Structure 1
Amino acid sequence: MQCNVGGIDRLLRVIVGVALIAMVFVGPKTPWGWIGLIPLITAIVGFCPAYALIGFGTCKQEGK
């Protein structure tokens, strides 16, 4: 897997992921908040399968 998620993109994914997961415990307390694991995991790993499908990436590629 090649990195396709850049620094700012990772930060935004972590913020959105944590906010969605927080909805499970506070606020509307809906189980749909667990969908926040997806942006959180993609931020940690640095790879987004959706980006790979469309050929997009925000990670700076070294050597180009």
Structure 2
Amino acid sequence: MASRIRNYLSIAEVCAELDIARSTFNDWRTKGRAPRCIKLPNGSIRIRRADLDAWVEQHCEEAA
């Protein structure tokens, strides 16, 4: 079960990995540019590891 939980990242974990401020992530989310997010019943936001990896790959290809 622990590995299943690690497949979901918090916004803080995503921001740390991307080396961005939370305000930047929130801005991207508002503009529809952030990786796909999941809202949990308790209101917390999570990002699937696979969605983040695909998002990073797509955006790195665009910049190259």
TM-score by length of structure 2 reads 0.28
The structure with more helix, counted as a fraction of residues: 1
Q: By percentage of residues, which structure has more strand?
A: 2
Higher Cα radius of gyration: 1
- Which structure is richer in relative contact order (CA contacts within 8 A, separation 6 or more)? 1
